Amino acid sequence: MVAPWHPALAGRLEERSIDSALLAENPLGDPATRPLLVYLPPGYDDDPGRRYPVVYILQGYTGFVTTWSNRQAFRPTYPERVDALFASNQSPPCIVVFVDAWTSYGGSQFVDSPGTGRYHSYLCDELVPFVDAEYRTMAAAAHRGLAGKSSGGFGAMITPMLRPDLFGGLATHAGDALYEYCYLPEFAKAVRALRRFEGDIGAWWADFRAREAFTMGEDHTLLMVLGVAACFSAGGDGRPLLPFDPHSGEIVDDVWQRWLDWDPVRMVPDHADALGGLQAIWIDAGTRDEWYLDLGATAFRDALHRAGIRDLHFETYDAGHSGIDHRYPPALAYLAERLSGQVTGPR
């Protein structure tokens, strides 16, 4: 039974912030000073010579670091789960960094985009050096991982593909993948929701910002569609281009192709070397995921297999897309072991 009031930790959770040069003058006017949480495992303060692997935690769409402290009855927060994992010695210790990549659209997909800002570069070129400078990390790709759920799982999949020099492991929980199932049906819903706005998602966006958020049934769908368009298919002027006709839903092929170019399943062949060099790959999802990300997980695994990468952990479990945070600690332990150099395989 979880006592709801007193989250005493065995380790420490530091609230920090970073002044990002890369996010300065981002197109949405979002702050360039960003918060982050740094979890230091039990014992960190005891042995000043010891260095630790680092796992960067990425959030799902509409997440921002302060939501990590949201509490649900009868369930610990994720930072508390992390702490319990290390306090109970179920995992080698590591430093866990909770990343903020929020935008005014609710997310960045952890990519560089003229529609939102340079969040990929901020993560790789500012946040990682900051953490390495401020904490006793094992500052090499082989000791650095990424983990996340949903959009965060997407970030965890693509970032090591793009920067194998920085990251040596990933864990994706219900990460965005196989876009024909996770995104296409949303477009159909979006078209219907846009009828009251005469097909103008800008009109919806203005409305959404002017009233209480999420009081219209399809607000979440439209926010995601608009926000991901800002990440994947912004025009040169930064305005999001929709990958579908807002009246009929007909696919706009060239814009949709820009989305597909970011589908982790489709990205694998071009990044097989990067992926093949990773120390740790963990893939999971719930078999009832509302966005069919269990299929995305399976397809991502299959794509890795086709690329000859078979040293990975894959599992599905009876769950939807929500309430699966108790599934993260085993993945974190898996990463911690692999990134500590404690597990060495034939690779």
Query: Within 82-101, which residues bind its own copies (CB under 8 A)?
Result: 100
* Under rule CB under 8 A, residue 75 binds its own copies: yes
Segment contacting its own copies by CB under 8 A, of 49-57, 62-70, 86-94, 328-336 = 62-70
| CA–CA gap between residue 9 and residue 13 (Å, rounded) | 8
Chain Cα centroid distance, residue 267: 16
Question: Considering beta carbons, is residue 139 or 314 the nearer one to its own copies?
Answer: 314
Cβ distance 339 to 62 under 8 Å?
Answer: no
Q: How many residues bind its own copies (CB under 8 A)?
A: 57
Binding mask 132-161 for its own copies (x = CB under 8 A): ------------------------------
Taking the least distance from each CB to its own copies, the nearer of 39 and 300 is: 300
Residues 215-231: b if buried by 16+ CB within 10 A, e if exposed: ebebbbbbbbbbbbbbb
Give the residue, chosen from 52, 98, 167, 187, that forms a contact with its own copies under the rule CB under 8 A. Answer: 187
d(CA 79, CA 134): 20
Q: Which of 27, 114, 185, 277 binds its own copies (CB under 8 A)?
A: 185
Report DSSP letters for 270-296, one per residue.
Answer: GGHHHHHT-SEEEEEEETT-TT-HHHH
CA dist 123 and 103 (Å) reads 14
Using the minimum distance from each CB to its own copies, give the nearer residue, 74 or 345: 74
Among 84, 104, 218, 313, binds its own copies (CB under 8 A): 104
Helices (H), 47-200: 78-87, 119-121, 128-134, 151-162, 179-182, 184-194
Does residue number 314 form part of the binding site for its own copies (CB under 8 A)? no
Which residue in 128, 125, 108 sits closest to 30, CA to CA? 108
Is 323 near its own copies (CB under 8 A)?
Answer: yes
- Binding residues (CB under 8 A) for its own copies: these are 1-5, 31, 35, 62-67, 69-75, 100, 102, 104, 106, 178, 180-181, 184-185, 187-188, 191-192, 195, 208-209, 212-215, 245, 247-251, 265, 287, 292, 294-295, 298-299, 302, 319, 323, 326
